[in-house]
Amino acid sequence: MANNPIKIKVENIYKVFGSDPAAVMESVKAGISKSELLEKNGHVIGVRDVSLDIPAGKTFVIMGLSGSGKSTLIRHFNRLIDPTAGRILVDGENVMDMSEAELRDFRRHKISMVFQRFALLPHKTVLENVVYGLLISGMTKAEAIEKGMQQIDLVGLSGFEHRYPNQLSGGMQQRVGLARALATDAEILLMDEAFSALDPLIRNDMQDQLKELQSRLQKTIVFITHDLDEALRIGDNIAILKDGELRQVGTASDILLNPADDYIERFVRDVNRARIVTVGFVAEAAASLPLSDVSESRCVSLLKDNSAIIVTKDGQAKKIINRDTLARNGFQGLMSNGTELQDLICINQDATLEESFSLLGSSNGIAVVTDNKTHPVGVITSEAVLNAMAGK
């Protein structure tokens, strides 16, 4: 998250439903329970003191079970719902301060929404559904059709542009909704339980397509789901809500290996960590030492404070030195035993633990972890992988 600017900043959002929310806010801020507030005052807590930083160009998943407040929260972002207290900042601008005209422009050009039930116009074709918003916003028909066809092609529906919604499968209908949202060129895409009405196999296909689209488009996507597997599969970052309160925010790896409380721990207990946790998350930091600077005294010194040394040449990893290999082979024997890349295993930091199994098995239990430019960022050991799978 540190590498991406904050696109949406959620600051201390409260939403209380009822006849006089302001009258009960003191009790809500003091911690009254959801059930007690309903019983005593007839008001319902939708969201309680939620703050989030949502980075640009990432898929941010907000998840929770029914009644957790996730759909209520996302509707604050485009002001379908106004908060009882708190602020929503998009690119530093407070959405609550927008006039009606500014809000209309914001919804048309800055932020789009994909709904659970598709929300397609049944009497219009695929193309007509996709370009409907463009025509309303004043775009010429020729421009709208050109843009609409681009989005239809992007979501894999070329050849279906003249079909009607009832002639399409559920997954294809949802692709139409996605194409319609993308056609506005909005920087932010809100997806509220967008795939939950689909059959499991179609749902998996849509998740894959969303990931593929996101890799190309780099939109800021806020995705709402009640499905933990879906959240872990598509989310760069995940926020988990319960009863309107934020319980934890983090990457999938962080949430699986460092649950914030008993609720989160129970929530993730049965997840196959090996398929979700990344190698980079469990990698150990290592000192990097150019081949030209390698000496026995330098290695001994570095290994006092580091678990391993990655010997590099032209920025690429060539050899791993740790206390065990140094003690077993001696410095001269270790360095004479080749320094070329083929003598060690490198694993990308984004690979899952499951994907690292066979590689670690052929590398004497230790491998270099690299970034996407193949530069070394640390080391990973079989022991670290086993500990992560055990939840340690």
CA distance 54 to 66: 22
Does residue 309 lie within any of the structural domains?
yes
Residues 6+ away with beta carbon under 8 Å from 97: none
Task: Describe the crossing of helices 382-389 and 353-361 by its angle, rounded to 10 degrees.
Answer: 150
Q: What is the pLDDT of residues 235-253, one digit of tens each?
A: 999 999 999 999 999 999 9
pTM comes to 0.84
> Is the CB of residue 189 less than 8 Å from the CB of residue 112?
yes
CA distance 191 to 181: 10
CA distance 189 to 210: 11
Task: Describe the crossing of helices 170-182 and 200-217 by its angle, rounded to 10 degrees.
Answer: 20
CA distance 232 to 61: 9
Q: Give residue 314's pLDDT.
A: 84
Q: What is the pLDDT of residues 269-317, one digit of tens each?
A: 888 888 899 999 999 888 888 888 888 888 889 888 888 888 888 888 8
CA distance 319 to 136: 61
Q: Give residue 47's pLDDT.
A: 96
Domain encompassing residue 311: 280-389
> 248-263: buried (b, 16+ CB within 10 Å) or exposed (e) per residue?
bbbbbbbbbbebeeee
Does residue 336 lie within any of the structural domains?
yes
Does residue 111 lie within any of the structural domains?
no
Does residue 83 lie within any of the structural domains?
no
Does residue 318 lie within any of the structural domains?
yes
Q: Write down the number of H helices and E strands in the chain.
A: 16, 16
Q: What is the pLDDT of residues 35-66, one digit of tens each?
A: 999 999 999 999 999 999 999 999 999 999 98
Does residue 53 lie within any of the structural domains?
no
Segments of the chain with pLDDT less than 50: 1-2, 339-342
Q: Domain count of the chain? A: 1
Tokens representing 264?
């989160």
Does residue 348 lie within any of the structural domains?
yes
Report the 10 Å Cβ neighbour count for 228. 21
Q: Give residue 134's pLDDT.
A: 87
Q: Give residue 1's pLDDT.
A: 41
Q: Give residue 2's pLDDT.
A: 47
Does residue 310 lie within any of the structural domains?
yes
What Å distances lie between residue 258 and 139, 190, 250, 281, CA to CA?
Answer: 49, 28, 9, 11
Domain harbouring 345, CATH code: 3.10.580.10
